[in-house]
Amino acid sequence: MASAGLAAKSPEWVESTKARIREAFDLFDTSKSGAIIQEEVGTVMRALGSYPAERDLVLTYIPTMQDDEPTNFVGYEKFEKFMLNNLASRECEPDGSDMLMQAFRTIDSDNQGYISAEILEALLTSKGTAFRTKELEAFMLVAKNVETGNIFYEDYVALLGR
């Protein structure tokens, strides 16, 4: 991962980004030990707007952030350094709203404008890199219409674009 992106950033960007990284990290460092469990690294990265492929996360990114002797934890200093470079390079930016809409429309083959929560949950937990329970619950809390139990995906994508 090149740090040329970081070198081009202003000192203000670096400081404000460090503050965002610290805030996100601290939410998961409940013991205030300066480390988080490796299973939470992807969640913290996504909270910061970085969406790595699960394979890259597990095989490359987490090992890069761990000390020379891998443990089940990632320390703040290495996480911050990694994230500054990752965010500056925009290496793991999410797909755009057009790509997301295309994915939802592929699932909604009847063009109803919605997908049932049950169908989407089955797909998100059985295909590709499965969502973990906490991730699925957080997604459903935001995306699912309480009255109908459906995901009106155009509304959801519009919400993400704000």
Per-residue pLDDT reduced to its tens digit, 21-53: 999 999 999 999 999 999 999 989 988 989 888
Q: Which of 89, 122, 150 is the last residue of a domain?
A: 89
Q: What is the pTM of this model?
A: 0.64
Q: Are residues 60 and 77 in the same domain?
A: yes
Residue 128 has pLDDT above 80, yes or no: no
Q: Are residues 124 and 61 in the same domain?
A: no
Q: Is 36 helix (H, G, I), strand (E, B) or coil?
A: strand
**Lookup result for tokens 């459903």:** 140
> Residue 135: is it exposed, middle or buried by C-beta count within 10 angstroms (0-12/13-18/19+)?
middle
Q: Are residues 132 and 64 in the same domain?
A: no
Q: Which of 63, 89, 115 is the last residue of a domain?
A: 89
Q: Are residues 59 and 131 in the same domain?
A: no
Q: What is the pLDDT of residue 1?
A: 45
Domain with 120 in it: 97-160
- Give the CA distances from residue 93 to residues 70, 115, 138, in Å, rounded to whole numbers and listed in that order: 27, 25, 20
Q: What is the per-residue pLDDT across 45-83, written as a single tens digit (0 to 9) for each?
A: 988 989 888 888 888 999 999 867 668 899 999 999 999
CA-CA distance, 58 to 62, in Å (whole number)? 6
For residue 157, what are the contacts with CB-CB under 8 A and spacing of at least 6?
A: 97, 100, 101, 104
Q: Give percent of the chain above pLDDT 70.
A: 94
Q: Are residues 101 and 145 in the same domain?
A: yes
CATH for 19: 1.10.238.10
Q: Are residues 24 and 68 in the same domain?
A: yes
Number of domains in the chain: 2
CA-CA distance, 124 to 77, in Å (whole number)? 33
Q: Are residues 83 and 138 in the same domain?
A: no
Positions of E strands within the chain: 35-37, 73-75, 115-116, 150-151
